[in-house]
Amino acid sequence: MKLTQMFKSTALAGSLGAAALMSAVAPAAQAAQEYLLTVTRPGHLQVIDMATNKVERTCDVPGNFGSGSIALAPNGKTAYVLSNGMEDVYGFDIRSCDITFHAAQSTPTLKVKSFQSVAVSPDGTELYTIQNPFGLKRDRFTVEQPRLAVFNVADGVGAKPVRTFPVDRRITKIATTAQGEVILGGADVKAINPDTGEVRMVTPLQNWEKGPLWLPPDAFAMHNQGEQSNEYIMPYVTAKFDSEEWNFETAEWWWGMSRVDLETGEAERMEIVPFQFIVFNFISDPRDPNILYGAFNTLSKHDISKQETIAVKEMPHTYYDLNISADGKTIYVGGTSSDISVHDSETLEKIGSIQLSGDMSTSDLRVATIRD
Amino acid sequence: MALNNNRTKGALLGASILALAGLGSLPALAADAQEIIRDRCLACHTESGDADNPSFSRISDLRKTPEGWQMTLNRMQHLRDLEISTEEKRTVIKYLSDHQGLAPEESAPFRYLLEQDTNRVEVGIDENVMQMCARCHSAARIGLQRRTEDEWQTLVDFHMAQFPGIELHAGSRDRPWYHLAHDETAVKLAEMYPLVTPEWNDWKKADKASLMGRWRVLGYIPAKGEFSAWMTAAKTGEDRYSLELEGNYADGAVIEGKGNATVFTGYEWRGTITIDSVKMRQVMAADKNGQMMDGRMFLAAEDEIGGELRAVKDTGDAQVVAVMPTYLKAGESAELVIVGQNLDGDIDLGDGVSVDKIIARSKDRIVVAATAAGDTGVNTVKVGSADSDVALNVYEQVARVDVTPVNAISRIGGNGGEMEKIRATYRAIGYSAGADGEPGTEDDVRLGYMPASWSIEPADEIAEHDKDHLYAGEITPAGMFIPGDAGPNPERKMSANNVGRLNVVATVDDGGNAVEGRGSMLVSVPDFVERVLD
């Protein structure tokens, strides 16, 4: 197993010597080493050294490609990947590709899907997923109540939920706060206590009360990110109509977000910039929460204190997601295809590219920080 | 020798079962089909009721078209591990279509889907059904099913389990989609499309006309044109026919074909016929008396490419069935083809239209040279004492041209990719302005299909900026739109593929006056899901 992985990473790095050297030396040699993680088709967790922008390790992910959702252990050493058609979670030691955790959520009588929703408790001992179960009866399916499933990380391979609590339907991205709550992104942003199952409203979105001329927001988040600012962003699109004629042409269209501070569990909801083009994901600059970057067909930079778009860089193809270095200087734009585009956050100019062995498709682009 | 013996035995056995059927037992086919369902389906489905009138869980709670049942069986094979032979599958589809089909009135609003005539924007669809269901597939697919309320709700649950992301799509994540679908939409569908209806109860009891015999057939094959022919349907089994087709295109060229057909549900004609070495399919609905069939014929390999098909049964009576073309410009002469059966006697094309010469004449096809000297109007084409409601439109000016289809979609393909290009075929329809002299008003007179020259243009400024008209495809002189090659195109912005939004322009030359009509063409990406019904 290990041999195969090393062989693969070797092939990617292009030189046996270089790859072997990096594998042996890199993790232990540096303090606060940042690794960019993503999943590529047909099933590889790519571990990229952000100091060199080279693929350092490629771990085989068992099962059919899922959605490439990745959750990080707080110490940055373990990455949990949603695989096998969004049914199984595998935990990888990113320093070795060893599989340290596996939870198969489905059973012969229950098909269980998780839509991106994987997160780890702040102490790293528990893993959370949102399970959407479907009963497999002899001649029909049944639709069962979605639930938060709590796993003990220590249960390792073969882990089963130790607790479950009912939650709303349509939950995608989740995250944990320093208080130990799990943020649930669905029709509204809510938080659940994973010990008691108690749910509180964080930001009403579909149930907001913003006045009759505001279009209920279309809120959706497909990608886990925000670790560099310890935040959770649920972006949305809304419109303010000028009358009850509901003229879509004359309405003011806005990007907005609910941004949860994962240190405090408190959220702010606001319209951030006028809707001028599609942005699939926003991230904040770790140095300045008023500066946001967005990716899709463009890489864009926004000052939300002024509700302004500061800079727009046309991209050669669509990129679904993005992430940023801890110092805020370098932006990594990825997803969709097989290359990660590296940009200077000041100018948005392209300063590098990382070619991967397969398409990232809908996969997350996450930064694991190992502080030794 | 052994084969012959077996055949004889089979025939005798069949005859005895049929004889028994007359004594109150089940017809052979139904009994066979029920046995196949027992053998193949009861690993998952359960049987209840008595042996002669069984009920199979889920299966017995719905009604569908032949294509609907075919889709169900395809899904069972591909996703649920059903093992069934082709012959068994055919038997089951026939049985279920006959016993749990749709009445003619029930399928009537949605025949375009059965006819694979899908280059259209559906109209008159319930807004809720449109938002909840018809944003992914046609509304006709729903309208061609009948279910109990429980079955409509189980269908929602199937959608959830089979396509778990369904409640996260744009258009569903902004609402509690599952609860709305299960508790409201499914309940409403059970009211709109219930399992038990008076129409179906009546149709089940009605005598079904035999469709065996000789049919006067009119049709249109893209790039070849209109044709008239005789089609003979010879019975080869219960509701099964062998077909022979022979006739002429409008220009006199011979059209010939052979094939076979099955009739489902007493009126659903499904034929396969090979014409000029090309396999084509016929989908028609017979009227309740079995005297007339209407539908569409299209390439088996490319169901977008096809045209109208109409068949009128030869009853021995004299009848005018069509005139080609259906118009004549006032003050001009033209050659007209009158199509019918048992035609004898004088030809009368109405006031002011003279028959200058009979170029060819038989009992079913007359070619004349005619001149329209006088007034414009809608004349009835008469031959002797033959029945006729066939109109010849005498017009002064083509005031408007419509392109059909008005809205079409094609798909890039080829270029080494897995999917072939999906083309589209166009025709132009001419109108005169009618009494008010204003084209585009209700009283416009439809003159008929007209020859046109074809071109494309970008649909709007954005399409022009993206040069869609240079990349997305081209149209042939015969009105066949051929989309561009699949795959990224480095010449385009973001290496976009050759998708685009175009107008297809038909220009009809009306005595030196060019009249234009436009249709909208969306050149889209390949569709990797092959469906029996969209």
Q: What is the 3-state secondary structure (H, E, C) of A88-118?
A: EEEEEECCCCCEEEEEECCECCEEEECCCCE
Sheet holding A70-72: strands in order across?
A: A70-72, A78-83, A88-93, A99-104
* Closest partner CB to B170 (pick from A170, A218, A315): A218
Do the chains contact at A220 and B495, CB–CB below 8 Å?
A: no
Q: Are strands B407-411 and B513-524 parallel, antiparallel or unpaired?
A: parallel
- Whether residue B176 and residue A142 make contact (CB cut-off 8 A), yes or no, is no
Q: Please, is A29 exposed, middle or buried when counting C-beta atoms within 10 Å of its C-beta (0-12, 13-18, 19+)?
A: exposed
Pairing of strands B453-458, B473-475: unpaired
Contact B160/A140, CB-based, under 8 Å? no
Let me know: does A35 contact A50? Beta carbons within 8 Å.
Answer: yes
Stretch B257-280: mean pLDDT: 97
CA angle A305, A311, A312 (to 5 degrees): 130
Per-residue pLDDT, A348: 98
List strand residue ranges (DSSP E) for B436-528, in order: 445-450, 453-458, 473-475, 480-483, 500-510, 513-524
pLDDT of the residue at B368: 97
pLDDT at position B30, please?
83
Alpha-carbon separation of residue A19 from A14, A22, A48, A78, B279 (angstroms): 8, 5, 12, 21, 58
pLDDT greater than 50 at residue B416:
yes
Residue window 176-195, chain B: list those with CB within 8 Å of chain A. Answer: 176-179, 182
Contact (CB<8Å) A170/B167: yes
Q: What share of chain B is helix, strand, coil (3-state, %, to 5)?
A: 25, 40, 35
Extract the tokens encoding B470: 């240079």
Chain A interface test: which of B44, B168, B169, B495 (most A C-beta within 10 Å): B168
The residue written with tokens 């005895």 in the block is B16
Sign of the C-alpha dihedral computed for residues A277, A86, A203 and A328 taken in this order? negative
Distance of CA B201 to the CA centre of its chain: 25
Q: Return the residue of B nearest to A315 by Cα.
A: B494
Q: Does B168 touch chain A (CB under 8 A)?
A: yes
B55 touches A at CB < 8 Å: no
> Which residue type does A298 have?
T
| Average pLDDT, rounded, for chain A | 92
- CA dist B352 to B372, B379, B447, Å? 6, 10, 17
The residues facing B144 across adjacent strands are none
Please say whether the beta carbons of A302 and A310 come within 8 A. yes
Residues of A in contact with B157 (CB under 8 A): 134, 140-143
Would you call A134 an interface residue with chain B, using a CB distance cutoff of 8 Å? yes
- Separation between Cα atoms, residue A278 and residue A295, nearest integer Å: 8
Average pLDDT over residues B355-364: 96
As a three-state string, the secondary structure of A155-182 is HCECCCEEEEEECCCCCCCEEECCCCCE
Residues B144 and B110: beta-carbon distance below 8 Å:
yes
Q: What Cα–Cα distance (Å) separates residue B521 from each residue in B220, B222, B284? A: 21, 17, 27
Instruction: Please report, for residues B212, B350, B379, B391, the alpha-carbon distance to residue B326 in angstroms, rounded to integers and kept in the order given.
Output: 30, 13, 10, 7
In Å, how far from its chain's centre is CA B442?
27
Cβ contact, residue pair B157, A316, below 8 Å: no
Per DSSP, the three-state class of A207 is: coil
Q: For strand B53-56 and strand A182-185, is the pairing parallel, antiparallel, or unpaired?
A: unpaired
Residue B438: pLDDT band (50, 70, 90) is very high
Asked if B494 lies within 8 A of A206 by C-beta distance, the reply is no
Once rounded to an integer, what is the mean pLDDT over residues A247-258? 96
Q: Does the pLDDT value for residue B134 go beyond 90?
A: yes
User: Nearest residue on chain A to B167, judged by CA atoms?
Assistant: A170
Q: Is B170 on the interface with A (CB under 8 A)?
A: yes
Mean pLDDT of all residues in A277-290: 97
**DSSP, res A361:** B
- Give the model confidence (pLDDT) of A192-208 as tens digits: 999 999 999 999 999 99
**Distance (Å) of CA A67 to CA A40, A113, A136:** 10, 11, 23
Mean pLDDT on A64-75: 95
Answer yes or no: is pLDDT of B108 > 60: yes
Residue that has been written with the tokens 């599958």 in this structure: B89
Q: How far apart are CA A337 and CA B172, in angstroms?
A: 27
**Complex-level ipTM:** 0.89
pLDDT tens for B337-353 read 999 999 999 999 999 99
In chain B, which residues have their Cβ closer than 8 Å to the Cβ of A115? 164-165, 168
Report residue B88 as tokens: 């068994």
pLDDT at B79: 94
For residue range A141-191, list pLDDT tens digits in order. Answer: 999 999 999 999 999 999 999 999 999 999 999 999 999 999 999 999 999
Query: pLDDT tens-digit profile of B361-414?
Result: 999 999 999 999 978 999 999 999 999 999 999 999 999 999 999 999 999 999
* Amino acid in the structure at residue B497: N
**Confidence at B150, pLDDT banded by 50, 70, 90:** very high
pLDDT tens sequence across A10-53: 333 333 333 333 343 444 444 689 999 999 999 999 999 999 99
Residue B320 has pLDDT above 70, yes or no: yes
Cβ–Cβ of A134/B164 closer than 8 Å?
Answer: yes
Predicted confidence (pLDDT) per residue in A317-344, tens digit: 999 999 999 999 999 999 999 999 999 9
Amino acid at B515: V
User: How far is Cα B394 from Cα B459, in angstroms, rounded to an integer?
Assistant: 34
- Residue matched to tokens 């109108």: B431
What's residue B27's pLDDT? 66
Instruction: Say if residue A370's pLDDT is above 50.
Output: yes
Interface check A114 vs B, CB under 8 A: no
| Residues of chain A found within 8 Å of residue B46, distances taken between Cβ atoms | 138-139
- Are A91 and A153 in contact by the 8 Å Cβ rule? The answer is yes
What is the residue-averaged pLDDT of chain B?
A: 93
B48 CA to centre of own chain = 37
Q: What is the pLDDT of residue B530?
A: 86
Window from A206-220, A351-365, B94-108 with minimum mean pLDDT: A206-220
Smallest Cβ distance to B161: which of A111, A138, A219?
A111
Interchain contact, A187 vs B164, CB within 8 Å: no
Residue with tokens 């899922």: A66
| pLDDT score recorded for residue A15 | 34
At B297, list the tokens: 């014929």
Contact B134, B122 (CB under 8 A): yes
A72 at the B interface (CB within 8 A)?
A: no
Residue from B148, B157, B493, B499 whose CB has the most chain A CBs within 10 Å, to mutate:
B157
Mean pLDDT of B69-92: 96
Q: What is the pLDDT of residue A354?
A: 98
The pLDDT value given to residue B12: 34
Q: How far is A308 from chain B (nearest CA, A)?
A: 25
Cα–Cα distances in Å, from B265 out to B273, B285, B441, B493?
21, 10, 40, 52
